[in-house]
Structure formats: structure tokens, C-alpha cells
Structure 1
Amino acid sequence: MDQDDILSSLKDYEEILQSEVYVDVDRLRILARHGVPQQIRGEVWKYLLGVERADRCKSPITIPPQRLEEYGQIDKTDPDVAKRIRGEVNRYQRKVKELEGKHFAEQFENVILAYLNTNRNVEYTPGLVALCAPFLYCLDKECDAYYCFERMMQAIDEEVDLNEWVTSWLQNLLAKEMAFEDVLRLWDVYFAILDPLELHPFVCLAILRHVKEKLEDLEQSEIRTILLRLPRLNIRMIVAEAVNLRHETWERQISEDAEL
């Protein structure tokens, strides 16, 4: 997206977000599929995830002061888990320079512990750090990052059995393997559509197709390295191919059902 496109897109978003009566989330979803400018990505994500209510004439689900107060009351202590989080955050920050620093390290610990202490059935895994990172980067307030993270994790818990073995690609929405900028761009699309977890496996297939030629002549150890740390990707192209793959799968399934 060139500078003129970014400015045009930003104006479109601001027109929606500055509405005094109603934020048109459907329009936000349409725009977000093509990417959200970083300046307002966090604000847009809050609406796409339902943390902010679109109808400003009614009381929001949780108005910001209440949201901050509720978040402040959540227990964020667990020395053993906190130590494990700090270790993974330290490794993650060496890889993702955008989130370096003590400030972010403390936020990672607070948000993840708050989530785990609120959801006692969920066990800590290192992948939670990568899943939390985009929200800390895009949202100014820690409590907003927490509630967006919580909303996304609820969706994952409903669709994916985290106790069942699944690849990191599927379980962590590629947050650990993709370049950070690509994660942000992909999640713009995911939060803009109603069935992101249904599309996600096809995104994974599209990526495999994209990197297939690079993998063909490599040793197993080299293949593993690439799949665990993907090169920069054209997310628009990957998503388009994923949508086509899903459509082809549906058509094939319909055809097979008709033959029965």
C-alpha cells in the first residue's frame, strides 16, 4: 500500500470511527480485509473483536473507566508461571524488536497472568506470548490489550481443543512463525471476518504452497527452520489463495455428497 492509499484508507477509517452515534462495524470489516493503518489498528481491532460496542447511544459493554477498574482487580500473581513468562518474553523480545524493553515485558506478564488466573482451565504455554504480542503493540492501554486478547482466546478455545496435539501453526495463528508485520496484517483480515478459524487452515495450506519450492531441495533440519520462522509473505496474495482453496474444497465436498 503506497502513501496515497494509506492516507485515503486512514480517512475512510476515521470517518467511521468519529461517528457520534454508531460505528459501522460492517464497513470496518470490509476495510480491514485490505489492511488497517497502524495508527488506528488498535482502535479498529477493539470494535472488530467486540470489546467496544458500536452503538454509542447505549451504554457500552464495559465503559473504559469500568474496564480499567475491573482489570485492576484481576489477580496477576503466580511466581512460578511469571518466571516462565519472563523467560519466553526475553526470547521473544530478542526476535521482535518492536516489543523490546521492560515496559512491554511487564505488560506481557500482567496480561497473560490475568488471563490465566481468570481462566483456570487454561494452562500456560509459551505460545501465549506470541498471541498476546500484537495487542500490546497495537493498543496503548494494557487493559484494552487484555480484553482484546481475552476475546481472541475465547474464540480459539471454542474452536480448537488446546489439549489435543496440533501444530504450532494452527494453535498459535502463525503468531510465532510469521514476521511480526505479517502477523498484524493477517490478523486485520481475521478480525474482519466472521469465520477466521475456519479460514486459518487454508491460510496455512496457501503458505505451504508459497514456500514449497524453497523447501524441495533442503534437509529436514533446514525445512524445520524455515517453517518455524517464515520469510516475509504477501499476505493479500496468501489470503486470496486461502479463500480460493476453501471454495474449491466446498465445491468438491458438494460434488461428492451429490454422488452419494
Structure 2
Amino acid sequence: MNRTDSQGSTAVMSDISSHSFKDNNKTSFWKKTAKTVPGSIKPVYGAQHPPLHEKPTSGGNSPRKDSKMQQPLQKQRDAFEAFAEKTSDAWDDADDDLILMANVKMSLKDVHSTAMQVMHDHSEQLARREASPGSPKDQHRTYNTDRHHMTVSSTPGHGCGCRPGGPGVGVRLKGQWVGSRSSPSNIIGNGSPNDQLSSKCEKFKTMLESANIDLDDVKTMSWSGIPGQYRPTAWKILSGYLPPSLDRRQPTLERKRQEYYNFVEQYFDTRLQEVHKETFRQIHIDVPRMSPLIALFQQDKVQEIFERILYIWAIRHPASGYVQGINDLVTPFFVVFLTEYITDDAELDMYEVSNLSEAAVRMLEADCFWCFSKLLDGIQDNYTFAQPGIQLKVNALKDLVSRIDNSLHSHLMEHHIEYLQFAFRWMNNLLMREMPLRCIIRLWDTYLAETDGFATFHLYVCASFLTRHSYDLQREKDFQGLMMLIQNLPTHHWTDNEIGLLLAEAYKLKFMFADAPKHLVHKK
């Protein structure tokens, strides 16, 4: 959602006119040219998502019918407006505290204490339920809700090079080994977990080194998770960036990387032109907000890489331009492809990208751009004017949940919770704000392996994600408690096991409903 602070905008626009966006550093990295781009891209479109108000289906003007509609709609508007005044944006989580400080009627301290109280009460309720011998065993209940005091630890897998020191494998992200920790439930075969992991690594090695790869085999193997050392190559193949033929991969990489360098040399200087200033200004503001707790993304060199990727993409896609939220979708590619250049036992979230050679950084950036572009090609209607793709998916999610968990759906409707108020962010950011990055990377293994995974399968994952917390959500009895919980679902402790269960449930829903869409339509 685009919000502009007049003073901040003036300052930033002044910065642009004086070339203060670290141009000296960028021009030393990329050759500047005097070329300009004819035409213009469309302005940045924000997503407005107030509650949707249903209109009466009858064409008559009966006062009795209108009066029946007015009262619940007025309550709905009052509830949402009261909530909006007291909390941060539904998906721009706490980004604009300084901008909103003067206008918020309820202090940030009160907002924080309210949120903490909801989570504390929720945690105590769950603890009492688990301690009770007769407590219900809901298969979708959360395992731990105290997200504020969660310590995550894991032990990396062994064998097949999936251990500290392996090339591109022994890297950790917030205590988790990126891609090298596969749960037994995600591996087909018998034997110990280490034997299973070793067997899967051997299969990937044999498959990716074959002269000609069967893409269906890659998808089948990748659906249940990809070993970390093979993930960069597998993602590039599954994205359609690399060809299945082994002989064609290196020439393709060299050609596509050079093509991206040409785009940067041709277009990046146009960010200073009047017609494009607003687009680049918004990108420059959004990039530092990405994953603010991960030091990797706060490095100047990393932020410059993201700015170039996002700006070049926006210039080449004028139908949508840059939309807030798509900046998050670069991060999984960046993390996965970065592991190709790290050979020691490193904490990935603390790694200094400036230690890489300039050639490595250029290759990393180009690979991220092309795979990011391939992803957005499949969901671009999410980011065109009025974002029709997101609206359709949110409505589909509402219909789906009403069929698979009507008690939860009725509970949300009873408390005037509109799906657009929380599911917009889920569709816009592909759950990037709802789960740790290590879980998103594992989730994307399956999305890339699924046909139309980011557009279609994501809907069933969102439905599974929501209904997984059905029991806990139905324990909240007011609008604010529900919204606080639904925007802060406890996932910080999640590992591959939880993602595996989520995906299994989503696949079941897809099997039930994807080929029978009429089942989502209520009979009248």
C-alpha cells in the first residue's frame, strides 16, 4: 500500500536530483551511458484493501431489505476502521512508525502491549490445553505459540557433502542449514535419515550431471525438497532459466548474464529522469525494509543489487511497473544463489557480500534477475492495475475455506474479518512475511516443481496455512484479537517437518478441488 510522507518525499526527491543515491559507488560497478529510454512506465500502483462490502443481489428498492444490510455493514466498517487506527498496515509491518506517529490515536506502546497480551493469553491457553488429559488433539493446531521467546536450533544433515564445509552447503540462516536439513518424512525410501539424505543427494547428482535431463524427473525429485548443494542448479532449471541439456547450460548462462549487463548499462541511468524518479524513489525506500532482522540484507552492496534488479524489471514491465511487495520475492533467489559462492562454514545471514569478487557479484545478480523475472511472468496479473489476480485469489480462498472449514469461516464472518484484510499480503508476498526465510526456501522447492505453483498451488497452501490454525483462531472472540493473531501466526520455530505437513495438506486440497471447481460453489 503506497503511503507518502510529504517531508520525506521532498527530501528524497531532492536527493535524487543531487544524485545522492550512492551514484559514485554504482557507477564504479556498472558502466554509465548516456542512453535514454523512450516512453515511460506507469506510476507505482498501491494496493487498497478495505473490507469488501457485498451489495444486495435484489434490484428492488425495498426499505426492509436495505435496513437488513445497513447494520452489519456499519459494524464491519466501524470494526475495521477502529482496528486500522490502532495498528500498522496489514502487510507493511511496522515500516512506517515514524510517518504514522503523529496521526495514530492509540500509542505504539499500547498497540505493542495489546499484541503481547493476545499472544501471551493464547500461549497460556495452549499450555493448559496440552496439560489437560482430555484436551482435544486437533491435527491443525500450532505446536508452540510463544514466538517472542523461541530459540531455533538444528543439526545439519550428514553424508553426500551435506555437512559443514561442503561447497554451497555448509551455510546457515538464523541457525538453520539452508537446504541441507531434510526430514525423513520428505524422503522416499527406507533406512536411517542420513542414509535417505545421502541416497537423495546421489540421485540429484546423477540426474543433474546427465547430458539430457527429463524435466518431469527433476520436478518429481524436487517436490519433497532439494538438497542444498544442488538447489541453485535445480532452481535455475525449474525456473526455465537453464536448459535441461548439459552442453547448453554454460553458453546460456553467459548469454543471459551479458544480456542483463546490457539492460543495466542501457536503462539504469534513466532512474534520474523525471518520468522515472517516483518509481526509483519507492524502490529505494522499500529495499532497506526487507528482512530488517537479517544483517545480510542491510548491507549497502546487497541493497544496491536489489535496487538494480527491481528497477530494471519495472522498466521492462510497464504494464505493472514496480509494486510494493515484489521486492521480497528476490530474497529467496539471492540467498540460494549466494550459497554457490560460499565454500566455508559461514553464517549466511552475517556474510559480507563485499568479500566476493566483482565477477561473482555480477553473475549472482544476473541469475537472480532472470529467475525473479520468470517467477513474476506467471503471476503478473497480481501486480497490474487494481491487482485483479490477487482479488480473484482472495475470493477463491474464501470459497475454499468455507467448504473445508466452515466453522472457521463462519467465525471470521461473525467477527467481521474480511479475507482481503489478511490474505492480500499472503498473495502479494507469497507468504514471505508469514514464515521464516528458511521455510520459504523449502516451500519454493515445491512451488517450482508444481505446474503453475506460484499462481495455483499457492492458493491451496494458503488454505492449509489458515485452517492449520483453525482451533486457535476460533478461541479469539473479538475483531482485534483475531487480527492480531492472524497477522502474527506462530511460525518462527517451523522446520521442514511443518512445511512438509503444510504441503501434504495443500496437495490433498488440490487433488479434491482443482479438477472440480464446481465443488467450491454453494448450492442455492
Asked if 1:224 corresponds to 2:483, the answer is yes
- 1:153 lines up with 2:376 in the alignment: yes
For residues 287 and 482 of structure 2, what CA distance do their matches in structure 1 show? 25
Q: Give me the whole-angstrom Cα distance separating, in 2, the residues matched to 1:37 and 1:112.
A: 28
The match for 1:72 is 261
* CA radius of gyration, larger in: 2
Conserved 8 A contact 1:179-1:231: no
**Partner amino acid for 1:133?**
T
Equivalent residue in structure 2 for 1:12, among 203, 207, 212: 203
Structure 1 contact 32–189 (Cα < 8 Å) conserved: yes
Q: Deviations over 1:224-256 (max 9, x none)?
A: 344334432511111111121222225765779
Corresponding residue for 1:240? Answer: 504
Q: Using a 3 Å threshold, how does the CA distance of structure 1 residues 202 and 160 change in structure 2: closer, same or farther?
A: farther
Equivalent of residue 33 in structure 1, options 223, 247, 267: 223
Opposite residue 182 of structure 1, the aligned amino acid is C
Show the counterpart of 1:193.
Answer: 450
| 8 Å Cα contact 1:107/1:136 also seen in 2 | no
Deviation at 1:99, TM superposition (A): 3.4
Partners of 1:227 and 1:256 lie apart in 2 by: 23
Structural mapping, 1:77-96, within 5 Å: 77=269, 78=271, 79-96=277-294
The 5 A counterparts of 1:99-178 are 99-140=297-338, 141-157=364-380, 163-164=387-388, 166=391, 167-178=424-435
Q: Could you say which residue in structure 1 is the equivalent of 2:64?
A: none
Contact 2:296/2:302 (CA < 8 Å) preserved in 1? no
C-alpha distance in structure 1 between counterparts of 2:514 and 2:291, whole Å: 40
Which letter does structure 2 place at the counterpart of 1:110? R
Q: 1:255 to 1:109 in 2, by over 3 A?
A: closer
- Cα drift, residue 155 of structure 1: 0.5
Q: Is the 8 A contact 1:96 1:180 kept in 2?
A: no
- Per-residue deviation at 1:148? 0.3
Report which stretch shifted further, 215-224 or 186-195.
Answer: 215-224
Aligned residues: 256
User: Structure 2: which 5+ residue stretches go unaligned?
Assistant: 1-181, 184-192, 272-276, 339-363, 392-423
Q: Structure 1, residues 120-143: CA drift from partner, whole Å, max 9, x if none?
A: 112322211111111111114110
C-alpha contact 1:51 1:61 (8 A) present in aligned 2: no
User: 1:153: Cα distance to partner?
Assistant: 0.2
Asked if structure 1 preserves the Cα contact closer than 8 Å seen for 2:319 and 2:384, the reply is: no
What's the offset of the Cα at 1:159?
7.5
**Structure 1 segments of 4 or more deviating over 4 A?**
59-62, 158-162, 250-257
Cα displacement (A) at 1:150: 0.2
Alignment partner for residue 460 of structure 2, among 183, 202, 214?
202
Counterpart amino acid of residue 243 in structure 1: Y
Does the 8 A contact of 2:443 with 2:499 survive in 1?
A: yes
Q: Aligned with 1:53: secondary structure? A: coil
TM-score, structure 2 as length reference: 0.45
CA distance in 2, matches of 1:152, 1:223: 32
Report the secondary structure of 2:268's partner residue: coil
Q: 1:13 to 1:222 in 2, by over 3 A?
A: farther
More displaced 10-residue stretch of structure 1: 155-164 or 21-30: 155-164
CA distance in 2, matches of 1:24, 1:211: 38
Alpha-carbon distance, 1:8 to partner: 3.0
- Tell me what 2:472 maps to: 214
Task: Give CA deviations for 1:33-71 in whole Å, capped at 9, x if unaligned.
Answer: 1111233322111000110001235x4596222212110
CA distance in 1, matches of 2:289, 2:480: 21
Q: How far apart are the structure 2 equivalents of 1:86 and 1:153?
A: 20
| Contact 1:132–1:149, Cα closer than 8 Å, also in 2 | yes
What is the distance in 2 between the residues matched to 1:89 and 1:199? 28
RMSD: 2.8
| CA shift for structure 1 position 223 | 3.4
Report deviation, 1:205: 0.7
Of 224, 243, 249, which residue of structure 1 is paired with 2:513?
249
Q: What is the distance in 2 between the residues matched to 1:22 and 1:34? A: 22
Does residue 52 of structure 1 match 2:242?
yes
User: Structure 1 counterpart of 2:505, which letter?
Assistant: E
Question: 1:117, CA displacement in angstroms?
Answer: 1.0
Asked if the contact 1:178/1:229 (under 8 Å) is kept, the reply is: no
How many Å apart are 1:32 and its aligned residue? Answer: 1.0
Gaps of 5+ in 1: none
